[in-house]
Amino acid sequence: MKNPFLDFRSLPYRKKEIPLERIVRAKQEVLEHIVEGYLRLVEEEAKDLVWLVEHSRVVKAYEAALKSIRDLHYDQDDIEEFCAELDSSHKIPYMISGPAGIYISALVNHSEEDRIVLRLQDYQRVFHFLGYRLPEGKTLVLQGDVGDFIGAGLSGGRLVVEGSTGNWCGAGMMRGEILVSEHAGQKTGEWMRGGEIHVDGMIRSVGKTLFGGRIYRRGRLVSPQPIGEHT
């Protein structure tokens, strides 16, 4: 009886390595490092998976985030992919919006690119603290609605939100500008020291304690309140 597999013997099995495999491998490695850094941050800063928004904790989390990404080489696509991983992947067992936003801000601030666009409207989750301490010379465009504390502590960068922001937008910002194309939540600009916030839609409420800076709604100055006007 003829061996039925003989016909296949003359067929050489050849697997070419195409660039795809190299690209995917390299990107996978970078993403794994980014994810690792985030998990370390959560482990250190949000023990028991509870994270309270306190100034000292925010600063500490940001410093820890910077430390873990110090030697990493990545680009905008990696940041975007990390956001997608946070949103839906099984690779990340827990996503805590506060530390996640601070970590993404650290990635943005530390990145070599000057302009970064993050498309957030497809995600189910909302990220807080995006644009935290965005430095001068950097532009961050956030497409879609975002969470609370957007642009907090902004340090001279330009933050464009193509959607609505949550509460405490621009809290404690120093310099730079925040442009919001839709609405802003409560306490917008609280503890603001400088810079400008421009909102095209409604502002639910402006922060009570402002040390400087200006807030505009549809091009009209709302804070500091112009002399003789009452809102």
Residue numbers at the binding site for another protein (CB under 8 A): 7-8, 11, 14-21, 23-24, 27-28, 77, 80-81, 84, 88-89, 119, 122
Q: How far is the CB of 5 from another protein (least distance, A)?
A: 11
Which backbone phi and psi does 100 adopt, to 5 degrees?
A: -60, -45
Distance CA 105, CA 133 (A): 8
Q: How far is the CB of 93 from another protein (least distance, A)?
A: 16
166 within 8 A of 148, measured Cβ to Cβ: yes
Q: How far is the CB of 193 from another protein (least distance, A)?
A: 36
Residue with Cβ nearer another protein (108 or 199): 108
Distance CA 200, CA 104 (A): 26
149 within 8 A of 132, measured Cβ to Cβ: yes
Residue with Cβ nearer another protein (74 or 129): 74
Residue with Cβ nearer another protein (24 or 221): 24
Q: Is 63 left (phi over 0), alpha (psi -120 to 50) or beta?
A: alpha
Residue with Cβ nearer another protein (27 or 193): 27
Instruction: Tell me the two tokens of residue 64.
Output: 């820890």
Q: How far is the CB of 206 from another protein (least distance, A)?
A: 35
